[in-house]
Amino acid sequence: MKDISLKDLLEAGCHFGHKVSRWHPKATTFIYQAREGIHIIDLAKTKDGLQKAAEYVKKLGEEGKLMLVVATKRQAKGVVTEAAKRAGLPYLTNRWVGGFITNWEAVKSNIEKVNRMKSEQLDGSWKKFPKHEQVKLEKDLKKLLMVYGGVVELTKLPDAFFMVDIKTENNCLKETQRKSLPVIAIVDTNADPNNVEYPIPANDDAVGSIQHLINYIADAYIEGREIREKLEGKAEKKKINSQQITENKEEIKEIKAEIKTVENKEVKPEVKPEKKKDEEKTSEVEVKEEKKEVIKVKKSTKSQKPKSK
């Protein structure tokens, strides 16, 4: 977050309070002095309050939590809507919906109805109705969007609330107190800062003051969200790397198994039976028989010779 400059706060007109006759006794903690019947706010207290509130909002962004911005004052509508859209925050700037917090289920059903009507209008489902009914549906949708246009993406109760003027948004403040939800708010000299967890003592009527403060809060939320996105991106990269490592290990195992199966399937050389000994035995027998025959022949020739006289 960028540093908060007292000069910037002074130029934005954050130091102007209400008339002395309209002051709240508990606002003395941040009133600097009275000049020409108007209370002057201590900008050092404004800086401290804004810094604490911005740190909390940044933490909300880091944790992925939502903050609803409420500003129904005429001079705050435009600048607050622009800042909320830039930060991707839900907002209510036309009027506070009674029971938004305490009767959330009914409000949620209305938000779902708005989303359903928008989708039906886009996909051409209304074309089956007569022209006068289509016109009536368009008027109803326009009325609903005037109230719920900034919260159509909400699916659950916001985790925190930002208010521009807690006197104007008194009904909203009471509902948050009943549900013990944290509130960040710009608190002027006519309001009690003890009703808010993160009060920002400042002028809540001047457009310049509101714009400066809401932009700083929106920037803090954007910064926290970017930190969360970076961390999520790193976690996804680590997850992908670990998946790749496990896949590579599995591939290596499969290759090793295939090599083993190939080795087992290889044909071993057949061992021919040794016939040398058998051949040698047969040859020896044949030689012996031949010798016997030769001896027999010799004996027969000797017997056939004539005797000498």
DSSP secondary structure, 190-257, as one string:
TS-GGG-SEEEES-SS-HHHHHHHHHHHHHHHHHHHHHHHHHHHHHHHHHHHHHHHHHHHHHHHHHHH
Sheet of 160-163, strands arranged across: 91-92, 67-70, 160-163, 183-187, 198-201
Containing 183, the helix (H) or strand (E) segment is strand 183-187
Residue that is last in its domain, among 192, 213, 234: 234
pLDDT at 307: 47
Q: Is residue 259 domain-resident? A: no
Full domain range(s) for residue 141: 102-156
pTM of the model: 0.74
With beta carbons less than 8 A apart as the criterion, state whether 259 and 127 touch: no
pLDDT at 282: 60
pLDDT at 308: 44
pLDDT at 290: 67
Q: Is residue 177 domain-resident? A: yes
Q: Provide the b/e sequence for 82-117 (b: ≥16 CB within 10 Å).
A: ebbeebebbbbbbebbeebbeebeebbeebeebeeb
pLDDT at 232: 83
CATH of the domain at 129: 1.10.287
Kindly state whether residues 48 and 124 are assigned to the same domain: no
pLDDT at 309: 37
User: What is each CA distance from 82 to 79, 166, 169, 211, in whole angstroms?
Assistant: 5, 20, 19, 10
pLDDT at 266: 59
309 residues of the chain, pLDDT tens digit each: 778 889 999 999 999 999 999 899 999 999 999 999 999 999 999 999 999 999 999 999 999 999 999 999 999 999 999 999 999 999 999 999 999 999 999 999 999 999 999 999 888 888 888 999 999 999 999 999 999 999 999 999 999 999 999 999 999 999 999 999 999 999 999 999 999 999 999 999 999 999 999 999 999 999 999 999 988 887 766 667 667 777 677 777 777 777 777 767 654 455 455 555 555 556 666 666 766 766 666 666 655 555 443
Kindly state whether residues 183 and 86 are assigned to the same domain: yes
Q: Is residue 272 domain-resident? A: no
Could you identify the residue written with the tokens 């130091």?
A: 15
Q: Is residue 299 domain-resident? A: no
